[in-house]
């Protein structure tokens, strides 16, 4: 009997799951990837074709295989500490999947270039925009991050252009040299977008509540030993501050972060998110040294200005020709749009802890319904597991999840 697996989402998470399913399956399997983009592996993160948009971690952290950490660096022909153009990672994933499929005599992979509009859990099937129904024995949700948060007030402008998704194709084409652009949010998306605009003569102002920018990558020495346990988020932050090198401290914490997060009470987790999340983010998700150097130069020449304050007040000042949303993912909107809407309305899927992602089993990523019971055949990978695991957006975590899911489903 042929096992039928469906993956919704053909970005990095979906392709990593597909890759490890193909490599692990010893039984006849049909694997259907539903992804509207023509090319797999890209998603939002790796779809840019701009060579100056670099991965924000070194090549040695991007391997598709946990037992071969240098695999991507070897494929890319670069040093382990190099920061490679993001679109090359998508090409790497496609190459690895194609090679695995060619070597397999049990798995048939098909890319359905369409959008999933509805999911039925019992019997399990997915309806795509053409009305075609695809049946499956298990479904993996690999939809990536939710779209950027869109404040209500951005829809009040009659003349100012608003770019809701700066990564959408040709989203920034209408912005020209000499324009004044306001970016809402000052994280890694802002850094890339601001540099792209500033290079073509656009004056860019970034604004956020804290006005904080991502820190820069730099080399560090030996990783310090972790304490046996951390009782509270405050204890974690105190330990980091007492280390000689905070980068080494974060490196040591990386493999244990999910376990530490799950050891906190819901109240402690909420306290961390309220008081320390932004500071954690700028230290944990960093710029490459080259990007940081160029950004500092653009700031020194006033091509890019970063401000702390009220984005709405600045946007309504009339001083800007365009407003670009560089905000974080809108988890509140995640369950209000297809294909998750019907599942949410039926109580089959619900928001994850603290409203992040969806509620899942911590080990398997299996979806939990509103009663907290596992939903048969329905799994998640990547950012949808953020509420449960906290660290669930970077390649090492997603790769590990993909390997575990492949073992669970076909191993």
DSSP 8-class letter at 57 = S
Confidence grade of residue 336 (pLDDT, cut at 50, 70, 90)? confident
Give tens-digit pLDDT for 146-179.
Answer: 878 888 887 777 656 899 889 988 999 999 999 9
Q: What is the pLDDT of residue 326?
A: 94
Work out the average pLDDT over 191-214. Answer: 96
pTM value is 0.94
Which domains are seen in the chain, by residue range?
A: 3-147+330-410 (3.50.50.60), 152-215+286-325 (3.50.50.60), 233-284 (no CATH)
What distances in angstroms separate CA 119 from CA 140, 160, 172, 192, 377, one per listed residue? 11, 38, 33, 35, 12
Report phi then psi at 166, rounded to 5. -65, -15
Give tens-digit pLDDT for 11-22.
Answer: 999 999 999 999
Alpha carbon 29 to its chain centroid, in Å, reads: 28
pLDDT value at 378 more than 90? yes
Which string of b and e fits 98-129 if b means at least 16 CB within 10 Å?
eebbeebeebebebbeeebbbbbbeebbbbbe
Q: Which position has the higher pLDDT, 34 or 316?
A: 34
Work out the average pLDDT over 36-40. Answer: 96
Three-class SS of residue 291? Answer: helix
Q: Which neighbouring-strand residues pair with 54? A: 85
Q: Which helix (H) or strand (E) holds 122?
A: none
Length, in residues, of the chain: 411
């Amino acid at each position: 009997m042929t096992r039928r697996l469906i993956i919704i989402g053909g970005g990095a998470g979906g392709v990593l799951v597909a890759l490890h399913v193909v490599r692990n399956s010893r039984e006849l399997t049909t694997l259907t990837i539903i992804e509207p983009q023509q090319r797999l592996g890209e998603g939002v993160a790796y779809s840019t074709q701009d060579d100056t948009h670099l991965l924000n971690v070194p090549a040695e952290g991007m391997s598709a295989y946990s037992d071969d950490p240098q695999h991507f660096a070897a494929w890319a022909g670069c040093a382990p500490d190099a920061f490679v153009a993001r679109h090359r990672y998508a090409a790497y994933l496609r190459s690895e999947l194609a090679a695995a499929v060619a070597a397999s005599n049990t798995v048939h992979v098909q890319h359905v270039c369409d959008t999933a509009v509805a999911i039925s859990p019992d019997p399990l099937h997915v309806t795509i925009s053409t009305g075609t129904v695809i049946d499956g024995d298990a479904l993996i949700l690999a939809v990536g991050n939710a779209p950027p948060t869109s404040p209500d007030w951005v829809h009040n402008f009659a003349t100012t252009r608003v770019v809701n998704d700066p990564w959408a194709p040709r989203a920034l084409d209408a912005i020209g040299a000499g324009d004044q652009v306001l970016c809402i949010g000052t994280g890694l998306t802002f850094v890339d977008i601001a540099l792209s605009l500033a290079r073509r003569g656009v004056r860019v102002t970034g604004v956020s509540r804290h006005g904080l920018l991502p820190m820069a990558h730099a080399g560090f020495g030996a990783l310090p030993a972790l304490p046996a346990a951390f009782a509270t988020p405050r204890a974690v932050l105190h330990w980091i501050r007492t280390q000689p090198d905070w980068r080494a401290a974060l490196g040591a914490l990386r493999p244990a972060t999910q376990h530490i997060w799950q050891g906190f009470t819901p109240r402690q987790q909420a306290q961390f998110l309220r008081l320390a999340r932004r500071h954690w983010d700028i230290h944990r998700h960093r710029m490459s040294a080259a990007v940081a150097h160029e950004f500092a130069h653009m700031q020194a020449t006033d091509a890019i200005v970063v401000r702390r304050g009220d984005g709405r007040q600045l946007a309504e000042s009339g001083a800007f020709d365009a407003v670009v949303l560089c905000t974080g993912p809108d988890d509140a909107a995640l369950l209000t749009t297809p294909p998750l809407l019907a599942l949410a309305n039926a109580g089959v899927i619900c928001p994850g802890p603290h409203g992040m992602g969806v509620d899942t089993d911590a080990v398997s990523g299996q979806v939990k319904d509103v009663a907290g019971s596992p939903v048969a055949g329905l799994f998640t990978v990547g950012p949808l597991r953020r509420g449960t695991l906290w660290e669930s957006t970077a390649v090492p975590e997603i790769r590990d999840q993909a390997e575990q899911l492949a073992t669970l489903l076909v191993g």
